Chain A
Amino acid sequence: MKLKPFPGLLRPLLAMLLPFVAFALQSMFWAAIKPFAWFLFFPAVFFSSWVGGLYSGLGATLIATLLAWWFFIPPEHSFALENPFTLGSIGLFMGMGILFAYSHERIKKANQRTAEALAAARAANDQLQDANARITQLYEKTLELDQLKTQLFANVSHELRTPLALILGPVNKRLAAGDLGAEERRDLEVVDRNARLLYRHVSDLLDVAKIEAGQMQVQYAQTDLAHLTRFVASHFEVLAGEKGIRYTVDAPDTLPAQVDTEKCQRILLNILSNAFKFTPTDGMVALILKTADDSAILQVRDNGPGIPAAMRTAVFERFRQVEGGAERRFGGTGLGLAIVKEFVDLHGGTVEVEEAPGGGALFTVTLSLSAPAGVELQATPSALAGEIDRQVVEELRESHNPAAPQSAAADAPLVLVVEDNPDMNTFITETLGRHYRIITAFDGQEGLSKALAVRPDLILSDVMMPRMSGDQMVAALRRHAKMADVPIVMLTAKADEELRVKLLQDGVQDYINKPFAVEELLARVGGLVAERKRTLDKLLRLNADLERRVEERTAELKAANQELESFAYAVSHDLRAPLRAMHGFSQALVEDYGERLEGDAREFLEQITIASRKMGELIDGLLTLSRSTRGELRHDWVDLAALSERLLAELSAAEPTRQVAWHIEPTLAARGDACMIEVVMRNLLGNAWKYTTHVNEPTVRVFAKQEGRDYFFCVADNGAGFDMTHAARLFQPFQRLHRQDEFPGIGIGLATVQRIIHRHGGLIKGTAAPGQGATFCFSLPREGGAREEKHERQDDSLG
């Protein structure tokens, strides 16, 4: 019963009024109702608790009880009781009232709960409706996307395949025509081969994408598996013959099965292609087809390198290759075996690889002979596109395409092309061959050895190559100093920014992205080669320039030397003549008119004579000094012992009165200019002779000694010696350490000696103590002249 929405307070109020209403009514009709005092109060409290709730009900019960007790229970208008049992009815009434109150409360609560539950249920229902709506939306969208994907595959497949077909078609048409020149035919074959290769890669990729999208469907059909196997196997016969591989096919005559023929063909093709790719020449490939229970078992065995145990499951992963790096030996996208696995899985079969007995790989494919239950069979089995079959086999055959003879000039710059793809190699070689001499290599190792051998003007190299990759080759090349200035251009298809930066850091001059236009290749190569040529030319010119300047300088020096020679010559001639005159006429005067000369006259003339003689000595000394620095320095072997002997004998002959003892070491061999060495010994021995004049037992010793790395010749005397504190002046021209009246001399001998020794690249030093003699030692290095500059800076007078 729906109650009108009363405001909160009104209902309890109304509820509490009901007893009064009942009282009022009962009072009016008391005569008829009497003695049923509780008559109308029962409904009153019933309805009051219904209307007002628990507390109203209780309150109403109380009020009703009081009202009824006062007004209607005999005696009326008092709380006294005639009959004590009436208490029971009062109690009963109250009890009933309370009961009503509580009951109504419960009902109310229950109603509330029900109402809440209903509301909640409704809300939930609403949410469910929303969710449903969303799901429906999504579902519709998924359906849409699915359709789009299907559309996409169809489109992409079409978009990619159509141009390829339009390339292959006309090319094949041209090739079929008979009027092709050799070069044109070769070029078209290259186009054909590569277009088909691209077709296969596109197909592989699309298959993989389709499988991933779950779009790949298996179309079962009834077919002869043995026949199919033999058919696919036959494609490889020519290849086996070429590579000298023992190829066996072991299959029953017929083997009926329900499979997707196209996919089975692909499975066989890919596994066989793998086997042939990795089997070396003179190897073996065996194909076996057999049955076991309700399954067909296909086995392909080879004796190639096999697959390492760790890779045996991974090898079926997409893009996984056993040798996947830049220096892998075999090309490929790594999808072949992945497709095999997917196709086998779609058939509900299994594929695995293990080591074949005797080395190599053994692939085993297990397929159920019958299609899964409830699958519809296609009427006609689908066939694989012929191109793919041929392409797979073609890929494995090496194309021997000799490049056209090059027409570059004999002195054209030399370019080394390093590229493993034979077609690309040929293409580049032909493109550049018109302008440059070309040498080719097919992997990094070959490239490296050829580059070091011929020293090309430019190197053009691919990055991904077997054995040694392009970047490894560059690193190895730059380690050789003589290859440091050879420009290198890399052909890179890898979209690798990191690699490019690394290449540039490693010393690559430029890189070209594949695919490239012929003009770009020529332009970049041409630019670098020209620049290198310019640099080399510049270097040659600078060199020539330098040579010329050196020659000029030498000529200048020669001229200066020449002038000096003439000067010295003039000096030697012209200075002596007046001296001779002075000397001569003084002497003549003394001889012819000597008796008539008085007093100091003779003395004066004597002085003139002495002075002119002195002058002569000076001139001689200076001339010797100057001559010691001019002229060629000869390299003779001088016997110092014999020379010393002779010079001492001369000195002795000039002064027979002096008794000087000398000791000369027997073998003293020196290397130098004989004349100049004589001047040295003459001076040193002359000094020794002179400065031992006032000694009792004058001795002169000539000997040799080793000091460190130097070999010294020494002249020692026991004469006057000198004070070492003045040693700095020892070798200065005109500087003397003794007075003229002590020992005569002009002080030029030692200066001359020093000059001569320095010119030979040797050292000279003098040691002495006053009154204890002096020792002069000099060295004459074998090479001569090596230490000249050093001696300009050294002061070697301080022995």
Chain B
Amino acid sequence: MKDKTILLVEDNPQDEMLILRALRKINLINAVDVARDGQQALDYLFREGEFAERTPAEPTVVLLDIGLPRLSGLEVLEQLRADPRTRLLPVVILTSSDEERDRLKSYENGANSFVRKPLEFSEFAETVARLGIYWLATNEPPQV
């Protein structure tokens, strides 16, 4: 896997820890960057603010939570899809909400996938692992 990265946008520290743990288990930990709110995520992706000096490697996939402070995940998604630089960027909505309208809105806003965080930890870890493998290995991103 050549330099494929995951951008995890998650504000909940516990969830963050659990996700990173799962990814560590399948040796994808080095490829993960974390943003803790919507604005940070956007700054990271557009190389603005604190991330102005980031190395120009776009993440292969963004794992985006919906419930974020300041800017919600869906709004982030909107902005990503509005910008030509990130229009095709694969985004996986990873959320604990099981509201139908969240799911529909996600797809409407242009998400590539919608995954619910399962309650059961083992299931959760497995889901995350599968996601990581799929999006970094199986799936072929638009930009190489």
Contacts and interface: CB of A to CB of B under 8 A. Distances in A.
A577 B122 contact: no
A587 B119 contact: no
Given A581-B14, A581-B15, A587 B97 contact: no
Interface residues of A, number: 20
Contact of B119 (A572, A574, A580, A585): A580
B12 interface: yes
A579 B119 contact: yes
Interface residues of B, number: 20
A483 to B, nearest CB: 55
B139 interface: no
Contacts of A586: 121
Contacts of A580: 14-15, 18, 96, 117, 119, 121, 124
A569 B98 CA distance: 9
Contact of A577 (B14, B21, B120, B121): B14
B67 interface: yes
Closest 5 CB pairs of A and B: A581-B14, A587-B121, A584-B121, A584-B18, A616-B119
A577 B99 CA distance: 15
A583 B119 CA distance: 7
B12 A572 contact: no
Contact of A569 (B18, B99, B119, B120): B99
A584 B97 contact: no
Given A573-B95, A573-B97, A584-B121, 8 more contacts: A569-B99, A579-B119, A580-B14, A580-B96, A581-B15, A583-B119, A585-B18, A612-B119
Interface in A534-591: 569, 572-574, 576-581, 583-588
B14 A573 contact: no
Interface in B1-58: 12, 14-15, 17-18, 21
B98 A584 contact: no
A583 B121 contact: yes
A701 to B, nearest CB: 32
A613 B119 contact: yes
Interface of A: 569, 572-574, 576-581, 583-588, 609, 612-613, 616
A577 B96 contact: yes
Contact of A583 (B21, B67, B98, B120): B120
A574 to B, nearest CB: 8
B119 A577 contact: no
Contacts of B122: 587
Nearest to A609: B121
Nearest to B124: A584
Contacts of B99: 569, 572
A572 B98 contact: yes
Given A572-B97, A613-B120, A616-B119, A577 B12 contact: yes
A130 B66 CA distance: 137
Interface centre among B17, B117, B121 (most CB of A within 10 A): B121
Nearest to B118: A580
Interface centre among A578, A580, A581, A612 (most CB of B within 10 A): A580
Interface of B: 12, 14-15, 17-18, 21, 66-67, 95-99, 117, 119-122, 124-125
A566 B99 CA distance: 11
Nearest to A592: B21
Contacts of A574: 67
A677 to B, nearest CB: 16
A contact patch SS: helix
Contact of A578 (B14, B97, B125): B14
Contacts of A583: 119-121
Contact of A588 (B18, B67, B98, B120): B18
Nearest to A612: B119
A584 B99 CA distance: 22
Contacts of A572: 96-99
Contacts of B17: 585
Interface centre among A572, A584, A587, A613 (most CB of B within 10 A): A584
24 contacts: A569-B97, A572-B99, A573-B66, A573-B67, A576-B117, A577-B15, A577-B96, A579-B119, A580-B15, A580-B119, A580-B121, A581-B18, A583-B121, A584-B18, A584-B121, A584-B124, A585-B18, A585-B121, A587-B121, A587-B122, A588-B21, A588-B121, A609-B121, A616-B119
B68 to A, nearest CB: 11
A588 B128 CA distance: 14
Interface centre among B14, B96, B119, B124 (most CB of A within 10 A): B119
A572 B103 CA distance: 14
A561 to B, nearest CB: 14
Nearest to B101: A569
B128 to A, nearest CB: 11
A781 B17 CA distance: 51
Nearest to B120: A583
A586 B66 CA distance: 25
A585 B22 CA distance: 12
A572 B102 CA distance: 12
A615 to B, nearest CB: 9
A573 B116 CA distance: 11
Contacts of B96: 572-573, 576-577, 580
A576 B18 contact: no
Interface centre among B66, B67, B120 (most CB of A within 10 A): B120
Nearest to B21: A588
A572 B12 CA distance: 15
A699 to B, nearest CB: 31
B104 to A, nearest CB: 14
A729 B120 CA distance: 31
A609 B124 CA distance: 14
A616 B119 CA distance: 7
Contacts of A579: 119
A627 to B, nearest CB: 9
B119 A576 contact: yes
Contacts of B15: 577, 580-581
Contacts of A577: 12, 14-15, 96
Contacts of A609: 121
Contacts of B97: 569, 572-573
A632 to B, nearest CB: 12
Contacts of B120: 583, 613
A272 B36 CA distance: 118
Contacts of A569: 97, 99
A328 to B, nearest CB: 81
Contacts of B14: 577-578, 580-581, 584-585
Contacts of A588: 18, 21, 121
A612 B120 CA distance: 9
A381 to B, nearest CB: 113
Nearest to B19: A584
Contacts of B98: 572
B12 to A, nearest CB: 5
A586 B122 CA distance: 11
Contacts of A612: 119
A424 to B, nearest CB: 76
A113 B15 CA distance: 162
Contacts of B66: 573
A463 B87 CA distance: 89
A579 B120 CA distance: 9
Contacts of A576: 96, 117, 119
B44 to A, nearest CB: 23
A616 B98 CA distance: 13
Nearest to B13: A581
A583 B67 CA distance: 20
A616 B15 CA distance: 16
A613 B119 CA distance: 8
Contacts of B125: 587
A314 B124 CA distance: 116
Nearest to A615: B119
Contacts of B95: 573
Contacts of A573: 66-67, 95-97
Contacts of A581: 12, 14-15, 18
A265 to B, nearest CB: 104
